[in-house]
Chains A and B, each alone.
Chain A
Amino acid sequence: MIKGECKMNIEYVPTICPYCGCGCGVYLVVKDGKIVGVEPWKEHPVNEGKNCPKGRNAYKFLYSEKRLKKPLVKENGSFKEASWEKSLSLIAEKLKNIDPDSFGFINSGKLTNEDLYVIQKFTRCVMKTNNIDNCSRFCHSTTVPALISTVGSGVMSTSQINIEKADCIFIAGTNIKETYPMIALRVMRAKKKVAKVIVTDPRRTVTVRLLADIHLQLNPGTDVVLINAMMKTVLDNGLEDKDFIERRTKGFNELRNYLSSLNMNDAERITGVSSDLIKEAARTYAKAENACILYNAGIAQHAVGIGNIQALSDLAMLTGNYGRPGTGVNPLRGHINGEGFGDMGPIPVFYPGFRRVSEKSAKLFENYWGVEGLPSNPGMTYMDMIEKCDVLYIAGANPMVSAPDTNQVRKMLESKDLLVIQDIFLTETTELADIILPAATWVEKDGTITQVDRRVQRIKKAVDPPGEAKPDWKIIRELSGMMGFREKFKFNSSKEIFEEIRKYVPQYSGITYDRLKKAGGIQWPCPSEDHPGTDTMFVESFGTPEGLGAFQVVEHKNPVEMIDEEYPYVFTNGRLIFHYHSGTMTRKTERLNNEVRGGFVEINIDDARKKGIRDGEEIILKSRRGEIRVIAKLTDNIRKGVLFMPWHFSESSPNVLTGPSAGPPSKMPEFKFCAVKIEIKR
Chain B
Amino acid sequence: MKGEMHLAWSTDGEILKRAEYGGAVTSLLKFALEYKWVDAVLAVKARNGKRYGCTPVLITNPEKVIETSGSLHCASPNIARYIKEYLDGALYLKIAVTCKPCDAMAIIELAKRNQIKLDNLLLIGINCTGTLIPNRTKRMIKEEFGVDPDDVVREDIEEDKLTITLKDGTEKVKNLDELEKKGYGRRENCRRCEVNIPTMADISCGKWGVMDEKETFIEVFSDKGSDLIEESIKAGYIKVEQPDNIALKTRKRKKEDAIKRAKKWQRRDFTTLKKITLNERLNYWFGQFNQCIKCFGCIDVCPICYCEDCYLEADRDLVTGGEVPPDVLFPMIRIAHVMDSCVNCGQCQDVCPMEIPLSQLTFMLNRELAKIFKYKPGVDVNAIPPLRAPGTEEELRTVVLNSLAR
Contacts and interface: CB of A to CB of B under 8 A. Distances in A.
B134 A53 contact: no
Nearest to A8: B60
Residue from A41, A42, A47, A51 whose CB has the most chain B CB atoms within 10 Å: A42
A43 B53 contact: yes
B293 interface: yes
Contact of B55 (A27, A31, A47, A49): A27
A37 B85 contact: yes
B301 interface: yes
A36 B47 contact: no
Interface string B64-83: 00000000001011100000
Contacts of B1: none
Given A50-B351, A53-B296, A56-B295, A517 B48 contact: yes
Interface of B: 39-40, 47-48, 50, 52-56, 58, 60, 74, 76-78, 85-88, 91-94, 120, 133-135, 290-291, 293-297, 300-301, 313-315, 321-322, 324-325, 350-355
A595 B85 contact: no
A40 B82 CA distance: 12
Nearest to B89: A6
B313 A188 contact: no
B85 A36 contact: yes
Contact of A8 (B40, B55, B300): B40
Closest 3 CB pairs of A and B: A43-B53, A50-B353, A12-B55
B321 A177 contact: no
A6 B295 contact: no
Interface string A584-605: 0000000100111100000000
A31 to B, nearest CB: 6
B115 to A, nearest CB: 15
B186 to A, nearest CB: 14
Nearest to B287: A210
Interface string A31-49: 1000011011111010111
B353 A578 contact: no
Interface residues of A, number: 50
A331 to B, nearest CB: 22
Contacts, number: 133
A610 B351 CA distance: 45
Contacts of A29: 85-86
A14 B47 contact: yes
A56 B299 CA distance: 11
Majority secondary structure of chain A interface residues (helix, strand, loop or mixed):
mixed
Interface of A: 1-6, 8, 10, 12, 14, 27, 29, 31, 36-37, 39-43, 45, 47-53, 55-56, 177-178, 181-182, 184-185, 188-189, 206, 210, 517, 519, 576-578, 591, 594-597
A36 B291 CA distance: 29
A3 B39 contact: yes
Given A5-B92, A6-B92, A42-B350, A595 B322 contact: yes
12 contacts: A1-B92, A3-B93, A6-B92, A8-B58, A8-B93, A10-B58, A37-B85, A40-B301, A48-B135, A52-B295, A56-B296, A185-B353
Nearest to B299: A56
A178 B351 CA distance: 17
Contacts of A40: 297, 301, 350-351
A591 B94 CA distance: 33
A43 B324 contact: no
Given A10-B58, A177-B324, A181-B293, A47 B353 contact: yes
A50 B293 CA distance: 12
Nearest to B45: A12
Contacts of A594: 313-315, 321
A39 B295 contact: no
Residue from B60, B291, B293 whose CB has the most chain A CB atoms within 10 Å: B293
A39 B290 contact: no
B293 A577 contact: yes
Contacts of A577: 293-294, 324
A519 B351 contact: no
Contact of B297 (A43, A45, A56): A56
B352 A50 contact: yes
Contacts of B295: 51-53, 55-56, 181
A165 to B, nearest CB: 12
A216 B81 CA distance: 46
